[in-house]
A = this chain, B = another copy of it.
Amino acid sequence: MASFPPLKNDLLLRAARGKATERTPVWMMRQAGRYLPEYRAVREEHDFFDVVETPELAAEVTLQPVERLPIDAAILFCDIMVVPEAMGLTVKMVSGKGPTFPQPLTTPDEMERLVSPDIDAALGHVFEALTLTRRQLNGRVPLIGFSGAPWTLMAYMVEGGGSKSYRTARQWLYRHPQASAALLQRTTDVIVDYLIAQVEAGAQMLQVFDSWAGLHDAASFRTFCLPYLREIATRVKTAHPEVPLVVFAKGAHYALDALAETDYDVISLDWTMDPEAARTTVGDRAVLQGNLDPCALYASPEALQREVQQMLTAFGAHGHIANLGHGMLPDHDPEHARLFAETVRRHSAAQPAT
């Protein structure tokens, strides 16, 4: 493993490990992105996947929110689709539609098109970007790496792109349960290697995004999401026990108890989940992350501050990493992102320890 400058702000890592902290750490999902004019300036010159695949550009864009906002983490600018791409599928970014697979996996037979990638060869650009970013961060804040979860990646691989209902992918689960398990396991194996290699390249915390977990009912989640999420955590922890792991199973409101039984240190809540109820369910088995409604950033400064304060009160002073309940949106005002982070800092520092 490369050596890096010492970390000056380790709030995030201490909080993720369940330690008491002097205030609540804060970052934002999709904090590097279109709402920042400096990001849009880069994108005027470069395609989305050019930025992802060019370490210098990915590092530049990753650092943008850290330069501008009082946040406690950087998260690598990357895309969850790099894993399906490494597995042999072609992904294109279609304007207004998002990532699209021109040839999705329409039947189980087509799994023959998948390859077992040499992670370093296929995803070397991600690891280079992490190493470069970590150096450029120079210890200011920790660097987060991430991956899509097996089910969420399968949803895209089968559906071919974004969808309201993902009914093609969900049809697969019901029609081809065995092939689904095989595809999910195969994706899991790649994700494990990918995440372990991210740590070796410089990632200091890892988040697994199961963005479409909420399409499942509880039984289906137990079959098609949970075993793979659990295995990822166990295997990555075996390789790197010191690195905190975060799971974000968006919409899986019924899954908190089961997730608390896995090796994830942190459970990230979407904005529809109640922090107090989540704490009751999870107890001290995991730190909670989240969960302001991203749309609250559209509110007036006064209303936004009130919302942030209510959120902090609901989570309590410890065992919490402040974040949004989903990603930043392209028409957010960067000044409201600043107000979000500043309010977390100020208010949580004044919050009485419980």
Which residues of A line the B interface, CB within 8 A? 162, 164-165, 167, 170-171, 173-175, 177, 214-220, 251, 253-254, 271-274, 277, 293-296, 298-300, 303, 310, 325, 329, 331
Contact = CB atoms under 8 A, between A and B. Distances in A.
A217 B293 contact: yes
Given A214-B272, A253-B253, A253-B272, A295 B173 contact: yes
B254 A299 contact: no
A274 B218 contact: yes
Contacts of A162: 164
Work out how many copies of this chain go into the complex: 2
Given A164-B164, A274-B254, A298 B214 contact: no
A162 B303 CA distance: 28
B167 A299 contact: no
A272 B254 CA distance: 8
A20 to B, nearest CB: 27
25 contacts: A164-B164, A167-B331, A170-B295, A171-B295, A174-B295, A174-B296, A174-B298, A174-B299, A174-B303, A175-B298, A175-B299, A175-B300, A177-B303, A214-B272, A215-B272, A216-B272, A217-B273, A219-B310, A220-B293, A251-B272, A253-B253, A253-B254, A254-B272, A254-B273, A254-B277
A271 B217 contact: yes
Nearest to A310: B219
A298 B171 contact: yes
Contacts of A175: 298-300
Contacts of A218: 272, 274
Contacts of A251: 251, 272
Nearest to A325: B217
A179 to B, nearest CB: 14
Nearest to A253: B253
A15 to B, nearest CB: 23
Contacts of A277: 254
Nearest to A254: B274
Nearest to A329: B167
B298 A329 contact: no
